[in-house]
Structure 1
Amino acid sequence: MSKSISSPAILSKILLVIFVGLLAWAYETTRPPPPRSLGSPDGPAIASPRIKLRDGRHIAYEESGVPKDTAKAKIIYIHGFGSSKYYHPFATAASPALVKELGVYVASIDRPGYGESDPDPKRTVKSLAFDIEEFADQLNLGPNFYVVGFSMGGQVIWSCLKYIPHRLAGAVLISPGINYWWPNLPSNLTNEAYSRQLKQDQWSYWVAHHLPWLTYWWNTQTWFPCFSLIHGHPAVISPPDREVYAKLFSAMNPHQLETVRTQPKQQGEFESIHCDLNIGFGKWDFDPMDIKNPFPNNDGSVQLWMGDEDLIVPVTLQRYIAEQVKWVNYHEVTGTGHTLPYADGVIDDILKRLLKDLK
């Protein structure tokens, strides 16, 4: 006589199978796809010069300004969120006559995972500072060089000031990103600034900080709106920024516009913009307000520039940081937004302030 199987036992097995299937599905949806390999038959082409680092990765770069061998000032420029080495204010907004007069050479790099620079699976807050130092050595920029960063690239400058201050001739942070969880920021200010961000951005920051393994899923799922800058949400574009974008984009042909949109993330969104979120808003091993003055003998300077109509980075928090870090020269430009360095005349003012002793 065969044994009968009770309905509860069958139901339990069915539920177990469904549960395991849901777990497997959830696991797969949180895993980013592998990056598209640069230079492979099906991957993005490599068209730029690249420096090979000790660990085998490559950093791509573009040069502008005066020839390196005759330059008075050698600058490494670090791009912002969703951008690349091609779109920097020294090439598009600075006065060529001033660049020549000051003897400025610029090496604009693709950060790891962006454009034509290899991803760094071990990327941290600290690692890019040492990438920059090694890049400078291999490019023969000398014992000291300048670093300039915009937006999330500006946030990277804090890492350079922390880990390689002895290599810097000067530094500029332009509209630099702020981590709401830096411990020295007072909670009343961070809570107020955080509450002013779009709800979708508040959630994106929270996920990046507390559940970084969910960042890829959060910004690719279709149930809730993802981080606003990924799709250019109009609510975070201030009126001055709209004017700057209109001017920049009107000067581009359709091919250039498509390149601006796709080239920075051509290896995959996780390796570029999602890693940016995880690192920029994750858990840092230092607080910028604890960094010591890298130029105690006034043989260099650190400049921080902000627009008072920036809707992406809270100017209230930037002012607080500048007040606490007395050796930072803070410049707030009225009537400008997050795209501050592309506003008329601003990048020239930045160069003059940074290199005032080189004329």
Structure 2
Amino acid sequence: MIDEFKIYFLFFDRAGHGESDPNPSRTLKTDTYDIEELADKLQLGPKFHVLGMSLGAYPVYGCLKYIPHRLSGASLVVPLINFWWRRIPQNLLNAAIKKLPFAFQMILRVAHYCPWLLYWWMTQKWFPNNRDPKKIWTERDIELSKIYYKKSYMDAAIRQGEYVSCQQDIIAGYGNWEFDPTELSNPFSDSNKGSVHLWCALDDKQISRDVLVYICDKLPWIKFHEVPHVGHWIIHEKHHFEAIIKAACTE
């Protein structure tokens, strides 16, 4: 497929992950401009395609907002839902967050309302804080995580500490955004050279289909893909990943 479409994949460590320096004032906007600067430093050219999954999809929304002129396309795979987006009906967001286990709800609420307390909340022992992945993953998700998320990989990813990597990710993704996804404009309205895709896994226990459908109804230029019988780790299923890449390259 790489040969067929003449593409290559560039993965990078966001601020605080792996070998990338932490950014204490990190936001959705700074992560977006990190992507643009990286593309320029590596001389990728005037346009590139961005793909983000789950929490890692928030910089893709940022690219659509802040640097749409640099995009040849974008793919959002089971993208995060910020439960404090302003223009999405509150009843939809409330229903979506209530589907999460209470411990996960509290992490997101602390990250949004009191981000300076997140490290304490994640490490304290006074209040229940059981973050059992079995409550938010399907059995197949757990199988895939054992294959792709080995301890050596995770240790390298968070080598600088969970606060500057994972927890800063959560704060950036679930903080107060300067925009709402439904306010985005089609970056390819003046041409047919580019498309935006959003992939929804119907067995996903974390991401609400109803919220994603609402966003795509408001933004009909986003091509919405529903995939049955698959959970949150859809991107690690070979045939689904190939479908995601093929759609990005051909539709």
**TM-score normalised by structure 2 residue count:** 0.95
Aligned-partner Cα distance in 2 for 1:276–1:219:
14
- Cα deviation, 1:289-315, whole Å, max 9, x if unaligned, reads 101111002210001112101112222
CA contact (8 A) 2:55 2:170 kept: no
**Who is 2:46 aligned against?**
143
Q: Gapped runs of 5+ residues in structure 2?
A: none
Larger RCO (alpha carbons 8 Å, 6+ apart):
2
CA contact (8 A) 1:240 1:335 kept: no
Aligned-partner Cα distance in 1 for 2:241–2:101:
29
**Who is 1:281 aligned against?**
174
Aligned-partner Cα distance in 2 for 1:243–1:303:
26
Aligned-partner Cα distance in 2 for 1:192–1:146:
32
- Cα deviation, 1:311-353, whole Å, max 9, x if unaligned, reads 1222221121122111111111001111011113011111111
Task: Please state whether the residue corresponding to 1:148 is helix, strand or coil.
Answer: strand
Task: Please show how residues 29-44 of structure 1 align to structure 2 within 5 Å.
Answer: none
Change (3 A) 1:227 1:104: farther
**Who is 1:299 aligned against?**
193
Aligned-partner Cα distance in 2 for 1:129–1:227:
32
Task: Please show how residues 201-216 of structure 1 align to structure 2 within 5 Å.
Answer: 201-216=104-119
Alpha-carbon shift at residue 227 of structure 1 (Å): 7.3
Give the length in aligned residue pairs.
250
Identity of aligned residues (%): 40
CA contact (8 A) 1:236 1:312 kept: yes
Q: 1:299 corresponds to which letter in structure 2?
A: K
2:19 to 112, 116, 119: 116
Structure 1, 111-120 or 147-156: larger mean CA deviation: 147-156
**Who is 2:162 aligned against?**
269
Task: Please state whether the residue corresponding to 1:206 is helix, strand or coil.
Answer: helix
Say whether residues 1:218 and 2:121 are aligned partners: yes
Task: Please state whether the residue corresponding to 1:173 is helix, strand or coil.
Answer: strand
- Cα deviation, 1:27-69, whole Å, max 9, x if unaligned, reads xxxxxxxxxxxxxxxxxxxxxxxxxxxxxxxxxxxxxxxxxxx
**TM-score normalised by structure 1 residue count:** 0.67
Superposed CA RMSD in Å reads: 1.5
Question: Which contiguous aligned blocks of 4+ residues in structure 1 show a shift greater than 4 angstroms?
Answer: none
Aligned-partner Cα distance in 2 for 1:258–1:287:
36
Task: Please state whether the residue corresponding to 1:108 is helix, strand or coil.
Answer: coil
CA contact (8 A) 1:322 1:328 kept: yes
**Who is 2:231 aligned against?**
337
Aligned-partner Cα distance in 2 for 1:149–1:327:
18
Say whether residues 1:197 and 2:100 are aligned partners: yes
Q: Gapped runs of 5+ residues in structure 1?
A: 1-97, 250-255
- Cα deviation, 1:104-137, whole Å, max 9, x if unaligned, reads 1111000000011111122111011111111001
CA contact (8 A) 1:219 1:227 kept: no
